[in-house]
Amino acid sequence: VQLQASGGGMVQAGDSLRLSCAAPSRTFSTYAVGWFRQAPGKEHNFVAAISLRYGSAYYTDSVKGRFTISRDNASNTVFLQMNSLKPEDTANYFCVARRTAPHTMGRLPYYAMDLRGKGTLVTVSS
């Protein structure tokens, strides 16, 4: 069972990108799906998560007001709309899932996730 992340790319500061995460159908209704990111030489850090059942979302402070996480249950896809990108957003972004609430996912380490997909690289130049 894999999560398939896509949508990364190279952009300039202030631009937008939308990441997508295709999740297996069995993850829906009981899981939160979210994103961690790993900058070069750094550890994985939580970005955002959403409850697949209720649609409630949770964000790390540094992306609040700029990033929006959403889900489309019909296609089993979670999106991360990233606006006003900054060079410090440059990282490999990983889609994850865990049977938990979004705010709880934000307090857990990356390796505690039930499902982890391959990353998609986002590069923001100044």
Using DSSP bridges, classify how beta strands 115-125 and 9-12 pair: parallel, antiparallel or unpaired.
Answer: parallel
Number of Cβ within 10 Å of residue 30's Cβ equals 13
Which pLDDT belongs to residue 2? 79
Per-residue pLDDT tens over the stretch 55-82 = 999 999 999 999 999 999 888 899 999 9
What is the arrangement of strands in the sheet containing 77-82, beginning at the earlier edge strand?
Answer: 4-6, 17-22, 77-82, 67-72
First to last CA, the chain: 37
In which residue ranges of the chain is pLDDT below 50? none
Which pLDDT belongs to residue 111? 96
